[in-house]
Chain A
């Protein structure tokens, strides 16, 4: 148990569907992250939120829409995805006052398959 919970763990969706991934952290952290993990590729940082404000968006397509209603919750809304978006989506959190030195705490991931 890492203190970061992601739901659902597995999701299969068609290209026309709309779905959402949810992340919740119980660590009292203020920064939250979405990473994409595809086979044989480095982890790709997608979004970073600090105190609910988006601080980074790494040129992610608009079919991925993040939402951070408070410091404990992070969502990734998905719509009109492509098969190449199939991947493991990882949520992480960290302590804001340790921006450079603090490690990230990861959830178990949401395995997304786009048909």
Chain B
């Protein structure tokens, strides 16, 4: 079975500081990992994904994520946070056994203060 854990319900960061939103996963096969963002009263928007290759993946809005196989982690990062980055962030995973189903974590609320 596939699962994702986002250990922090909320992350608070000052504008201009680096941010990290944590994600760990559990799969039986090779993981296919995704990050999504959700702004209030909106659907989920795709940020980036790791399929294979370089462990550092770059995505939309200046976000990047680092795949670490030994730690089974896929943390989302940004060098300099913006107030407009405040939103709900979801990590998700598939593997060969999950087929179409994309399994999501419970989400982490990011608050960037001026």
Contact = CB atoms under 8 A, between A and B. Distances in A.
Given A41-B106, A55-B99, A101 B43 contact: no
Interface residues of B, number: 25
Given A45-B102, A100-B32, A101-B32, A2 B45 contact: yes
A92 to B, nearest CB: 8
13 contacts: A6-B43, A31-B100, A40-B106, A42-B103, A42-B106, A45-B101, A48-B100, A103-B46, A104-B44, A106-B36, A106-B43, A108-B41, A109-B41
Contacts of A43: 44, 90, 104
B54 to A, nearest CB: 15
B34 A103 contact: yes
Interface in A8-66: 31, 33, 40-43, 45, 48, 50, 55-56, 58
A55 B104 contact: no
A52 to B, nearest CB: 14
B104 A106 contact: no
A104 B102 CA distance: 8
A105 interface: yes
Contact of B101 (A40, A41, A56, A107): A56
Given A43-B90, A106-B43, A101 B49 contact: yes
Contacts of A42: 4, 103-107
Contacts of A58: 101
Contacts of B96: 100
B14 interface: no
A109 B42 contact: yes
Interface in A77-115: 90, 92, 94, 99-101, 103-109, 111
Given A4-B43, A56-B101, A104-B44, 14 more contacts: A41-B106, A42-B4, A43-B90, A45-B103, A48-B100, A55-B99, A100-B32, A100-B96, A103-B46, A104-B46, A104-B102, A106-B36, A108-B41, A109-B41
Contacts of A92: 44
Interface string B1-27: 000100000000000000000000000
